[in-house]
């Protein structure tokens, strides 16, 4: 048996602390140690706090708080508008530094990722390596981070959340009963508000309760997800650190051929409605939402056109799917009779991990369109979470290719911290 097999895997989860605020401090050192908030419409009372420095959080300033409320809590609050290119640049530098230690680096979002050091020369020096990485991120990029070290991705993620800012936490399987199991169930990575509510109805209030609950009972309440969550609570997670996962293509779609070639808009609208309903049902059944939409048009002469559009917000709702699909269809339909149409939801995200992405490209427009509390209420209703999570997403645009953006649009934890 090799040394690596005997000692198990060494997985790091790197989580940058208050990333957007920290990047601003790195570019303007005069902001260091001061209460800082990144917010849309920084000069407008309707602005939304995207994230805040730890100094500001001491006053209760947090996302997604209206800016007027944040300033009421902290009159000395400094507010900066987000700088998209600056955050992307710092993120790329961060991941570039991590890849100096291993090729197995998996970006999860703009400010967090996994590393697998199992088969590297750093395997025997995990804590020393973690301290070195954390210090280099501070010295070279001026960015603070927390690092979790564990034998798998789930435990590494949980470990990195245990001490912020600038924490390094090792979580071993033999420590689950003392360190992990006493934690409230809603603090477990992968459990959203709706899932937590279902578990609470079963008197499952801690991660330990989940680990000790019969699998049959969990499957009745949560389906196959119940088994997965129980395994995680028991410290089992076989997922590999996959550098290519950010480019994985996942989709759910449906297409249908008309009984005859048609250019009748009513007939086409009915078809798009039925296709959207079908895709919506399948998305909900698999408990995922689509962050990208594709339509296919096949004409009477069999010429086929496909077009893609990244959605402003991930969705599984029939009304939103048909609205987006119809707009995309009519933009690219040349008016000639068609024989077939198709709709596909792409770049799928687990529903519990989906979030309204206000923090970069969409929050300014959203704030203009409706009051923040109404917006948050709508998000709660759709995704079952009481907090708008972090993330980065490119501007909505159409593409003729099936590629993905650099930033993975999912998987935030239940903390507001980046």
Task: Give tens-digit pLDDT for 116-149.
Answer: 999 999 988 999 999 999 999 999 999 999 999 9
**Does 106 fall in a domain?**
no
Residue 296 banded pLDDT, cuts 50, 70, 90? very high
Residue 98 in domain: no
Between CA 412 and CA 395 the distance in angstroms is 20
What would the mean pLDDT of 209-222 be, rounded to a whole number? Answer: 94
User: 360 and 288, same structural domain?
Assistant: yes
User: 181 and 264 share a domain?
Assistant: no
In a domain, 37, yes or no: no
* Pair 210, 312 in one domain: no
Residue 64: pLDDT band (50, 70, 90) is confident
Q: Which residues, other chains included, contact 311 with Cβ-Cβ below 8 Å and sequence gap of 6+?
A: 290, 291, 292, 293, 320, 324, 396
Q: What is the pLDDT of residue 41?
A: 65
The string of pLDDT tens digits covering residues 348-361 is 887 765 544 443 34
Does a structural domain hold residue 129? no
**Structural domain contains residue 340:** yes
Please tell me whether residues 226 and 254 are part of one structural domain. no
Say which DSSP state 63 is in.
T
Residue for token digits 């010429």? Answer: 303
Distance CA 416, CA 237 (A): 25
The predicted-structure confidence for 363-407, as pLDDT tens digits, reads as follows 444 444 444 444 444 454 454 444 443 333 333 333 333 332 333
213 and 282, same domain (yes or no): no
Look up residue 220 and give its two tokens: 């009745």
**33, part of any domain:** no
Contacts of residue 400, defined as CB under 8 A and 6 or more positions apart, other chains included, come to 306, 307, 308
Identify whether residues 229 and 352 lie together within a single domain.
no
253 and 392 part of one domain: yes
Which residues carry a binding-site annotation for Mg(2+)? 15, 111
Do residues 260 and 395 both lie within one domain? yes
SS3 content of the chain, % helix, strand, coil (to 5): 45, 20, 35
Distance of CA 307 to the CA centre of its chain: 24
Q: Domain of 222: which CATH number?
A: 1.10.150.20
Please identify which of the residues 112, 318, 320, 418 carries the catalytic annotation.
112
Measured between alpha carbons, how far is 369 from 313 in angstroms, rounded to an integer? 15
**Residue 251 pLDDT level (bands cut at 50, 70, 90):** confident
137 in a structural domain: no
Least confident of 18-27, 111-120, 128-137, 280-289: 280-289
Do 253 and 391 fall into the same domain? yes
Q: Which domain holds residue 202?
A: 176-233
CATH number where 356 lies: 3.30.1490.100
d(CA 351, CA 193): 11
Crossing angle (nearest 10°) for helices 318-332 and 265-285: 140
Domain count within the chain:
2
Tell me, yes or no, whether 371 and 299 share the same domain.
yes
Binding-site residues, please?
A: 15, 111
pLDDT given at position 187: 95
pLDDT of residue 406: 31
Q: Are residues 226 and 337 in the same domain?
A: no
User: Could you tell me the pLDDT band of residue 232, with boundaries at 50, 70 and 90?
Assistant: very high
If asked whether residues 264 and 229 sit together in one domain, one would say no
Q: Is residue 371 part of a domain?
A: yes
Q: Is the pLDDT of residue 13 over 70?
A: yes
Mean pLDDT of 277-285: 90
Q: Is the pLDDT of residue 47 over 80?
A: no
In this prediction, residues 195-208 reach a mean pLDDT of 94
Confirm whether 240 is a catalytic residue.
Answer: no
């Amino acid at each position: 048996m090799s040394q690596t097999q005997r000692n198990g895997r060494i997985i790091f989860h790197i989580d940058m602390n208050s990333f957007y605020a920290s990047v601003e401090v790195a570019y303007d050192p005069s902001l260091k140690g001061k209460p800082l908030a990144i917010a849309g419409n920084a000069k407008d009372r309707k602005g939304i706090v995207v994230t805040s420095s730890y100094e500001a959080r001491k006053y209760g300033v947090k996302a997604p708080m209206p800016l007027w409320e944040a300033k009421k809590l902290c009159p000395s609050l400094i507010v900066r508008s987000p700088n998209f290119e600056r955050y992307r640049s710092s993120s790329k530098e961060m991941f570039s530094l991590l890849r100096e230690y291993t090729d197995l680096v998996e970006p999860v979002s703009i400010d967090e990722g996994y590393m697998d050091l199992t088969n590297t020369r750093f395997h025997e020096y995990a804590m020393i390596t973690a301290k070195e990485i954390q210090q280099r991120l501070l010295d070279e990029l001026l960015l603070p981070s927390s690092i979790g070290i564990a034998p798998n991705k789930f435990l590494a993620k949980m470990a990195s959340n245990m001490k912020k800012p600038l924490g390094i936490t090792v979580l071993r399987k033999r420590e689950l009963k003392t360190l992990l199991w006493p934690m409230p169930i809603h603090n477990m990575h992968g459990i959203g508000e709706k899932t937590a509510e279902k578990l609470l109805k079963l008197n499952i209030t801690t991660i330990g309760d989940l680990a000790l609950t019969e699998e049959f009972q969990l499957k009745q309440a949560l389906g196959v997800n119940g088994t997965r969550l129980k395994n995680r609570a028991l410290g089992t997670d076989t997922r590999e650190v996959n550098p290519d996962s950010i480019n994985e293509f996942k989709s759910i779609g449906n297409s249908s051929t008309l009984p005859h070639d048609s250019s009748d808009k009513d007939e086409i609208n009915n078809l798009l409605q039925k296709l959207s309903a079908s895709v919506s049902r399948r998305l909900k059944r698999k408990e995922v939402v689509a962050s990208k939409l594709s339509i296919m048009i096949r004409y009477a002469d069999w010429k086929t056109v496909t077009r893609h559009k990244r959605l402003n917000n991930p969705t599984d709702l029939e009304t939103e799917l048909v609205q987006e699909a119809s707009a995309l269809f009519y933009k690219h339909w040349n008016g000639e009779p068609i024989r077939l149409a198709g709709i596909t939801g792409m770049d799928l995200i687990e529903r519990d991990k989906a979030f309204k992405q206000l923090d970069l490209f969409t929050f300014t427009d959203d704030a203009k369109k409706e009051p923040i509390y109404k917006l948050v209420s709508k998000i709660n209703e759709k995704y079952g979470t009481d907090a708008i999570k972090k993330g980065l997403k490119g501007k909505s645009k159409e593409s003729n290719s099936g590629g993905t953006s650099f930033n993975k649009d999912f998987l935030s934890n239940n903390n507001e911290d980046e």
